[in-house]
A and B are shown apart, each in its own frame.
Chain A
Amino acid sequence: DVKVTQSSRYLVKRTGEKVFLECVQDMDHENMFWYRQDPGLGLRLIYFSYDVKMKEKGDIPEGYSVSREKKERFSLILESASTNQTSMYLCASSSPSTSGTYEQYFGPGTRLTVT
């Protein structure tokens, strides 16, 4: 089974801190994604990566950056945390299945609170 792990389930940080959210997948997937999930807004894509050292902006990249130095690891960085970044953060990975589809496999999420 594919396993996607995230470094923390719950995190509390102060405004202005630099925050690192780590995601690791164990299935050699090429693609990795970071989303945030907020009530009433659904899932929104922050950044994604198709390969090591490659990154692409999603729908809401402002205030975030990412790093992918190794294939299995994709980090989300909040350069200077703000209260409006309080949210649930979900990491996912994907590769083509035997049927050619690109279903994504999600980690358990990190609930970040910025005070």
Chain B
Amino acid sequence: GDSVTQMEGPVTLSEEAFLTINCTYTATGYPSLFWYVQYPGEGLQLLLKATKADDKGSNKGFEATYRKETTSFHLEKGSVQVSDSAVYFCALSGPEYGNKLVFGAGTILRVKS
């Protein structure tokens, strides 16, 4: 079935380091792709999205590009801050999924000062 695979965490980085969190997907159609972030003790927030191949989503210094040829949507940030410590979820959705979200398992990011 369709699925989303994320790199396992936790990912531990020092402040100002470069961040990559890998996300790959398997899908029969052409889904939209999302990154959600969950800060400690809170619900999920939409971080960024992309709706078609080669689209780049960006927000708060984070970026991800929809790569159809590699079925990937890796999250990147050039310089992380302690406040970026959270759990990051990659997800896909679309009409063929009844507009439900298919989530990855989540990746814990810890940023040390």
When chains A and B are docked, how far (Å) is the Cα of A103 from the Cα of B44? 11
Chain A residues positioned under 8 Å from B36 (CB to CB): 106
B27 within 8 A of A: no
CB contacts under 8 Å to A, within B33-71, are 34, 36, 41-46, 49, 51
Please determine whether A104 and B43 come into contact, CB atoms closer than 8 angstroms: no
When chains A and B are docked, how far (Å) is the Cα of A105 from the Cα of B43? 9
* A-B pairs with beta carbons under 8 A, tally: 52
Q: Which of B36, B49, B99, B101 has the most CB of A within 10 A?
A: B99
Provided the pairs A99-B51, A100-B51, A103-B34 are in contact, do residues A43 and B89 lie with their beta carbons within 8 angstroms?
Answer: yes
Please determine whether A31 and B104 come into contact, CB atoms closer than 8 angstroms: no
Chain B residues positioned under 8 Å from A33 (CB to CB): 100
Per DSSP, are chain B's interface residues mostly helix, strand or loop, or mixed? loop
The 0/1 profile, CB within 8 Å of B marked 1, for residues 74-105 of chain A is 00000000000000001010101001111111
Chain B residues positioned under 8 Å from A92 (CB to CB): 44
Chain A residues positioned under 8 Å from B42 (CB to CB): 108-109
Chain B residues positioned under 8 Å from A99 (CB to CB): 51
State the interface size on chain A (CB cutoff 8 A): 24
When chains A and B are docked, how far (Å) is the Cα of A106 from the Cα of B94? 18
B105 within 8 A of A: yes
Provided the pairs A101-B49, A101-B51, A103-B93 are in contact, do residues A108 and B104 lie with their beta carbons within 8 angstroms?
Answer: no
Please determine whether A94 and B44 come into contact, CB atoms closer than 8 angstroms: no
Measured CB to CB, the closest approach of chain A to B75, in angstroms, equals 16
When chains A and B are docked, how far (Å) is the Cα of A98 from the Cα of B79? 31
Please determine whether A42 and B46 come into contact, CB atoms closer than 8 angstroms: no
4 more contacts with CB within 8 A, not counting A43-B103, A103-B34, are A42-B103, A101-B94, A103-B32, A106-B45
11 A-B pairs, CB-CB below 8 angstroms? Answer: A42-B103, A42-B105, A94-B99, A101-B93, A102-B93, A103-B32, A103-B93, A104-B44, A106-B45, A108-B43, A109-B43
